[in-house]
C-alpha cells in the first residue's frame, strides 16, 4: 500500500507553483514575502521542511505566526505573535545589510536576464497600461541574496525587451550588476510559472529551463517564451504536490480558498 506522500490527488497549477516555490526555501533562512502566493509558499515551507524559516513582511512584520491569510503586507495579521513589529524602513535596511536570503517577486514582464517590469506597458509617457510600479520590488531585487519570481508564462510577459525596467535582474549579463553598484552575491535565482521552473546560467546569466510541470512539453514552454531560453541537457519534471502538502494548503494554510482556489 502506498505511503501518504505517494498517493495521487488532483491539484491545480497554483498549488503546484506553491509547492515548487516552498521547496526552494531552506531552513534557518530569511525570506521577504508579499501576500498571495508567496506567503502560501513560505508558510508551507515552515510546516514541512523549514520550521525555522523566518518570514519577513515589507511593512515590518518579522517572524509572525500567521493565523489566517493576510490581505496585504500591512494587514495586522502579518504582525501576529511576531518576533518584531518594525517598519518598511527597517526591513529595507535589513536587505541592504545583506540579512535577507530570499525574496519573492512578481512581474508583468520579464526578459532573459531576469529583469522585471511592473511599471507600464507601452511607452512610459503614453502607456497602454499603467501598472502598480515598484513598491519594494526594486529594493528586494537589488539587495536580497536570491529572488524567486512567480508569474504567468506567455509571450506577452516573457519578452525580448522590457517596456520599462523596474527591478534589475542580471541587467545586460555577466558583471552588469556589479558595474551598476549592486552586491555581487545577489540576483534572480528561480522563475516559477504554470509551465515550469527556470533558473539562470552561471556563465551567461541567461534564463535556463530546469524542469517542466507534469503534462507540459518543451514545445509548450518555447511557444510561450519571447526570447531564446537556454535548455538544460536533461530537463526534469517538477515533482507533483504530495498528499501532505495538499492537505496543508487546503485545510490549514488557505482553507477559505483565497489564493488556492477551490
CATH at 50: 3.40.1080.10
3-state DSSP helix/strand/coil % of the chain, to nearest 5? 25, 20, 55
CB 131 within 8 A of CB 183: no
10-residue averages of pLDDT along the chain (262 residues): 51 97 98 93 96 95 89 90 95 96 97 98 95 93 98 98 98 97 96 98 97 97 98 92 96 91 68
Tell me whether residue 211 is in a domain: no
Instruction: Provide the domain count of the chain.
Output: 1
**How many whole angstroms separate alpha carbon 98 and alpha carbon 32?**
12
Tell me whether residue 243 is in a domain: yes
Tell me whether residue 259 is in a domain: no
Count Cβ neighbours within 10 Å for each residue of 11-50 and write b for 16 or more, e otherwise.
beebbbbbbbbbbbbbeebbbbbbbbbbbbbbbbbbbbeb
pLDDT at 233 (0 to 100): 84
CB 37 within 8 A of CB 251: no
Give DSSP secondary structure letters for 159-187. -SS-SS--B-SSTTSTTHHHHTT--TT-S
pLDDT at 242 (0 to 100): 96
* Residue 160 domain boundaries: 4-195+239-253
CB 112 within 8 A of CB 206: yes
Tell me whether residue 12 is in a domain: yes
Count Cβ neighbours within 10 Å for each residue of 225-236 and write b for 16 or more, e otherwise.
bbeebbeeeeee
The active-site residue, picked from 26, 28, 58, 233, is 58
| Contacts (Cβ under 8 Å, ≥6 apart) of 140 | 32, 95, 100, 103, 105, 147, 167
Tell me whether residue 227 is in a domain: no
What end-to-end distance do the CA atoms of the chain give, in Å? 28
Q: Which residue has the cell 519577513?
A: 56
pLDDT at 221 (0 to 100): 98
Task: Pull the grid cell for residue 142.
Answer: 537589488
pLDDT at 68 (0 to 100): 82
Q: Which residue has the cell 522585471?
A: 116
Catalytic residue check, 58: yes
CB 189 within 8 A of CB 105: no
Tell me whether residue 115 is in a domain: yes
Amino acid at each position: 500500500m502506498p505511503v501518504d506522500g505517494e498517493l495521487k490527488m488532483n491539484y491545480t497549477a497554483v498549488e503546484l507553483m506553491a509547492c515548487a516555490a516552498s521547496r526552494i526555501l531552506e531552513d534557518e533562512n530569511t525570506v521577504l514575502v508579499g501576500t498571495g502566493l508567496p506567503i502560501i509558499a513560505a508558510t508551507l515551507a515552515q510546516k514541512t521542511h523549514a520550521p525555522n524559516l523566518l518570514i519577513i513582511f515589507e511593512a515590518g512584520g518579522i517572524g509572525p505566526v500567521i493565523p489566517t491569510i493576510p490581505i496585504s503586507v500591512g494587514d495586522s495579521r502579518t504582525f501576529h505573535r511576531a518576533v518584531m513589529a518594525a517598519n518598511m524602513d527597517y526591513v529595507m535596511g535589513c536587505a541592504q545589510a545583506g540579512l535577507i536570503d530570499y525574496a519573492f517577486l512578481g512581474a508583468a514582464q520579464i526578459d532573459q536576464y531576469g529583469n522585471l517590469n511592473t511599471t507600464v506597458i507601452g511607452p512610459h509617457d503614453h502607456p497602454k497600461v499603467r501598472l502598480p510600479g515598484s513598491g519594494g520590488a526594486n529594493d528586494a531585487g537589488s539587495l536580497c541574496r536570491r529572488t524567486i519570481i512567480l508569474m504567468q508564462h506567455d509571450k506577452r510577459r516573457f519578452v525580448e525587451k522590457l517596456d520599462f525596467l523596474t527591478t534589475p535582474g542580471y541587467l545586460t549579463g555577466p558583471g552588469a550588476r556589479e558595474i551598476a553598484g549592486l552586491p555581487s552575491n545577489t540576483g534572480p535565482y528561480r522563475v516559477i510559472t504554470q509551465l515550469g521552473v527556470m533558473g539562470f546560467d552561471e556563465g551567461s546569466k541567461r534564463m535556463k529551463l530546469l524542469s517542466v510541470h507534469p503534462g507540459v512539453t518543451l514545445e509548450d514552454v518555447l511557444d510561450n517564451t519571447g526570447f531564446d531560453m537556454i535548455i538544460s541537457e536533461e530537463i526534469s519534471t517538477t515533482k507533483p504536490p504530495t498528499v501532505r502538502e495538499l492537505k496543508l494548503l487546503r485545510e490549514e494554510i488557505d482553507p477559505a480558498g483565497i489564493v488556492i482556489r477551490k
